[in-house]
Chain A
Amino acid sequence: MALGFSDPFDAIFRFQTALDQQLESDWLEGATTGTGAFPPINIFRQGHDFAAIIELPGVTKEDLSLEVRGNTLRISGRKTAAYGGNASTHRRERISGSFDRTVNLPVQLGPDRVKAEYREGILTLSLPRAESDKPRLIKVN
């Protein structure tokens, strides 16, 4: 499914619809990973490679740790929302606490080539596919 951006007014809406369509798609089925664990993860494909984008508002870089092993990602840390002793709450919607989530991806990742960037509460992981896992064109004689 190609996401064309030809019509700028429609483009974002169509992207949001596409995100809805992949909600809990069965791409991760068969492995141990499932939904419900914090933080919520979106996985995208870019050509042969993948990217995972995770929202972690209020988590500082120091409170976040990432591990990659084979095709397994582990994201752990603390999200804090503390306001001090003399604060009296009117409204409380933010959640806080510690998290530790492991995701098994159905693709082999290129070892040592996973890159992570964390800005404005969004963790972007670029997950290049291992060379051995990339599809090869087989010529029919």
Chain B
Amino acid sequence: MTAQELEVQQKRELDKKEEKTIPVRTFLPHTDIYETPEALVVVMEMPGVNREHADITVEDDILSVAGRIDFSKYEKFQPVYTEYNIGHYQRRFSLTPNNFDARKISAEMKDGVLKVVLPKAEQVKPRKIELK
């Protein structure tokens, strides 16, 4: 029997700062952020969101991602047993000002995972510090 290494992660709900006109619950996608010498990469899990329904914007040094779910597939379904909730996704991250070349930002989506690549602007590429 394969060892169970994975545990269920509960979805975290978005802390609403503004009031919504439509009462829909929104969740924060689980996110990994890592850096390579060339870029900052943000990876977000948004199962059920296809590329047309993902909105990515960078404005005023804030990366905003929103993903919309198509609820119409659930129209005739009645829940009898649930372990997780379903909703749209939204999350924002502040970026270091002037670090990135906005024109070179790219994104791809596969199997419900969005990957946003923010290439670093030339002048901020890391410089290795030598240990003497």
B31 with A93: CB separation less than 8 A: yes
A-B contact count (CB 8 A): 190
Q: Which of B56-64, B77-85, B99-107 touches A?
A: B77-85
B112 with A51: CB separation less than 8 A: no
Collect the chain A residues with CB atoms within 8 Å of residue B30's CB: 93-95
Is A141 engaged at the interface, CB distance under 8 Å to the other chain? no
Is B1 engaged at the interface, CB distance under 8 Å to the other chain? yes
B47 with A57: CB separation less than 8 A: yes
B4 with A37: CB separation less than 8 A: yes
Cα–Cα distance between A96 and B30 once the two chains are bound (Å): 12
- Chain B binding surface SS class: loop
Is A67 engaged at the interface, CB distance under 8 Å to the other chain? no
- The number of chain B residues with a CB under 8 A from chain A is 50
Query: Which of B47, B75, B81, B85 meets A121, CB within 8 Å?
Result: B47
A55 with B4: CB separation less than 8 A: no
B83 with A42: CB separation less than 8 A: yes
**Which residue of chain A lies nearest to B50 when distances are taken between CB atoms in the complex?**
A120
Q: How far is the CB of A23 from chain B (nearest CB, A)?
A: 5
Give me the interface of B with A, judged by CB distance under 8 Å. 1-9, 22-25, 30-37, 40-41, 43, 45-50, 71, 73-87, 109, 111-113
